[in-house]
Amino acid sequence: MSDQIKIWLFYLIILSFINQSHQTVDVEVRAYIEGYNDRARQLSNEYSLVSWDYYTNITGHNQNKMTALSLKWSEFAKNESEKAKIYNISALTDGNLARQLNMILDVGISGYDDSEVLEKIANIGAEMTKIYSEAKWCKTETNCLPLDPDLTDLITNSRDYEELKDAWKGWRDASGAQMRSLYQEYVQLMNQAIKAEGKYADMGDYYRSWYEDPDFETDVRELFEELSPLYDNLHAYVRRKLQSQYGAGKFPSEGHIPAHLFGNMWAQQWGNIYDILEPYPGKGMESLTDEMINQKYNVTHMFRLAEDFFVSLGTDHLPESFWRLSMLEKPSDGRNVVCHASAWDFQNGTDFRIKQCTTITQEQLQTVYHEVGHVIYYMEYINQPYLFRGGANPGFHEGVADIVSLSFQTPEHLQKIGLLDELPTGNEGDINFLFNMALDKVAFLPFGYLIDQWRWSVYRGETTHVDYNKAWWDLRCRYQGISPPVERSENDFDPGAKYHIPGNTPYIRYFVSFVLQFQWHQALCEIAEHTGPLHRCDIYNSRAAGDRLREMLQMGSSRQWGDALYALTRGTAAESRKMSAKPLIEYFKPLQEWLEIQNQGERVGWDKASCPSWHTSSAPRKFSIWQIASVLAACILISLTF
């Protein structure tokens, strides 16, 4: 046997040994991960049940149960992370195993050793949620209004400038202002816990890691800048219409719009004031709210409509337990609940629920479709192991929840389900439809972008408790072009008046979802062989589109999100592994061209360096010794005169 052959045989033996060693590691890790997924699924089910009890019945007893399970989960995650550290990830040949093992190792704040700190974090979070959910604005001594449905109805329907201003301020006094010191402590403790392991600079850094993209922050900024001209033109048109309604003298000269005039407590979407803004009155769709009420819609009917849309794409029906266990309306027994709509997966394969204080309105119908979309996602990836039961990134879940809204709101679909008699025709009807959609989809973009710009800045320490509120309004004035209708100070905490701040729900996911849903919509419309403009595409009843959508949904988070995006868009004009603003811009192109014509001679934009009605100090005004002496002298002179 030649020396060369001996060398080759030696190499083959070594390679065989290495391969055997790697396969042995795979077998060991697979057994561990299967056990982990079972244990985690059972504990997650326990935690979801006690959390549901708290969110649908806010009591001290239920809060204590939820806190105890939160601590149990933290201890579990920390212990499992320690177990997982014995395995050599680089020795694994199965990429799925390596991905799951990395997820187990990355435990967030649960890895912190101080259980007292973790308990305090859980209790502060529950306390802030309680403040938000129980907050009421007392219009009079005997008339106190909770957010849902009372304040929401007032903000939606009133056109009285002063009444809207009082309600806007009253909600913030009752909610955000009551939790300012709690939030300051919460941020400090969260950062303390996440920094301990040395992997993340702060909590914002940890939240951004969920997107598995080192350029994520830059990417979303560039997307926002690309979409800004569309928003700026919508803003200019809406400002002119609102000035006509309320009087230009009530608007800041810097070009901002007072924040209480949009028919939404947070000015995040503007569809509730379509009646004031409609480009061509009477040319297009009537109010869906009025039509739903005329047809005697009830809450169950609304959810059945959403279910039917997804079933038409090939998904399963919602399980019987959904209808029996969900909270679809505000309870009539007087218990305090968190009305903010949310979808729940109880991790047992059959129990999926929605918690929503649903009312019969167009806006609530959109929310119904959104929450049912979350549940459909849960049901589609149910065969994935526990660690992969999630959206490919947080924005995926929100985008999927909204994807069918681009179809169900088309005149064609509304006619199919009996909410519209005749299709709008001609350019005027088309502009009205696109404008109405823009009040939902385009108006939201800067709001969806800026909330986590504020939160990341707070976690980084760039924004401290000394200027929480100023920094908040600097961003809203700069990006949204809106301003507070009354003076604000650091006695206020307006970020806390939005649920996702006390609820600690990262918000950039919504901006991401609004971009992604248009990419998916463009791809699915092509797969459904739609002809005509993108904004008139309805994928209802297209099994081909449904099959492609379900293929992506069933992946869960088993792959990096770029792969999941490609799985849906491959072979279409929208094919990509990166987020793109182009489909959204294409969808609204006819409207943008129309707005640019309407805005000729109008100021498009606003002063982004200033924020009207901002009171820079919360301290009592201080007077100099000379000012005090002058006042005293004046008083003496007046007394001598008399």
Q: Which tens digits make up the pLDDT trace of 319-352? A: 999 999 999 999 999 899 999 899 999 999 999 9
Both 103 and 232 in one domain: the answer is no
Residues 388 and 382: their CA atoms lie apart, in Å, by 9
Both 102 and 240 in one domain: the answer is no
Question: pLDDT digits over 231-275, tens only?
Answer: 999 999 999 999 999 999 999 999 999 999 999 999 999 999 999
- Is 31:99 a contact under the CB 8 Å cutoff? no
Q: Is the peptide bond before 484 cis (omega within 30 degrees of 0)?
A: no
Is residue 73 in a domain? yes
Q: What is the pLDDT of residue 13?
A: 56
Q: What is the pLDDT of residue 624?
A: 38
Is residue 515 in a domain? yes
Would you call 61 a catalytic residue per the annotation?
no
Question: pLDDT digits over 114-144, tens only?
Answer: 999 999 999 999 999 999 999 999 989 899 9
Question: pLDDT digits over 398-426, tens only?
Answer: 998 888 889 999 999 999 999 998 888 78
Classified as helix, coil or strand, 269 is: coil
Beta bridge partners of 483: 258
Residues 521 and 582: their CA atoms lie apart, in Å, by 12
The contacts of residue 636 (CB under 8 Å, 6+ apart) are none
Classified as helix, coil or strand, 140 is: strand
Question: pLDDT digits over 515-554, tens only?
Answer: 999 999 999 999 999 999 999 999 999 999 999 999 999 9
Residues 637 and 639: their CA atoms lie apart, in Å, by 5
CA 445 to chain CA mean position, Å: 11
Q: What is the pLDDT of residue 562?
A: 96
Is residue 387 in a domain? yes
Confidence of residue 14 (pLDDT cuts 50, 70, 90): low
Both 434 and 314 in one domain: the answer is yes
Question: pLDDT digits over 67-98, tens only?
Answer: 999 999 999 999 999 999 999 999 999 999 99
* Distances in whole angstroms, Cα of residue 243 to Cα of each of 154, 248, 455: 20, 5, 32
Catalytic residue among 197, 500, 575, 586: 500
Is residue 437 in a domain? yes
Classified as helix, coil or strand, 488 is: strand
Residues 54 and 547: their CA atoms lie apart, in Å, by 37
Q: What is the pLDDT of residue 25?
A: 77
Structural domain harbouring 407: 219-319+365-493+507-598
Confidence of residue 610 (pLDDT cuts 50, 70, 90): confident
- Among 96, 117, 138, residue at a domain's last position: 117
pLDDT > 70? residue 626: no
- Is 37:347 a contact under the CB 8 Å cutoff? no
pTM: 0.88
Q: What is the pLDDT of residue 431?
A: 95
Cβ of 479: how many Cβ atoms within 10 Å?
18
Residues 200 and 202: their CA atoms lie apart, in Å, by 6
Residues 175 and 617: their CA atoms lie apart, in Å, by 21
- Among 86, 117, 148, residue at a domain's last position: 117
Cβ of 413: how many Cβ atoms within 10 Å?
20
Catalytic residue among 371, 380, 398, 526: 371
- Is 343:354 a contact under the CB 8 Å cutoff? yes
| CA 420, 423, 428, 434 torsion-angle sign | positive
Both 107 and 230 in one domain: the answer is no
Is residue 296 in a domain? yes
Q: Which of 606, 612, 611, 609 is nearest to 231 (CA)?
A: 606
Is residue 202 in a domain? no
Would you call 197 a catalytic residue per the annotation?
no
Q: Per the structure, how many domains does the chain have?
A: 2
Q: What is the pLDDT of residue 6?
A: 60
Q: What is the pLDDT of residue 426?
A: 83
Q: What is the pLDDT of residue 617?
A: 41
pLDDT > 70? residue 506: yes
Q: Which of 579, 516, 515, 596 is nearest to 229 (CA)?
A: 596
Both 101 and 230 in one domain: the answer is no
Is residue 440 in a domain? yes
- Among 117, 141, 167, residue at a domain's last position: 117
Is residue 521 in a domain? yes
Residues 547 and 527: their CA atoms lie apart, in Å, by 10
Both 91 and 240 in one domain: the answer is no
Largest Cα–Cα distance of the chain, in whole Å?
Answer: 128
Both 100 and 228 in one domain: the answer is no
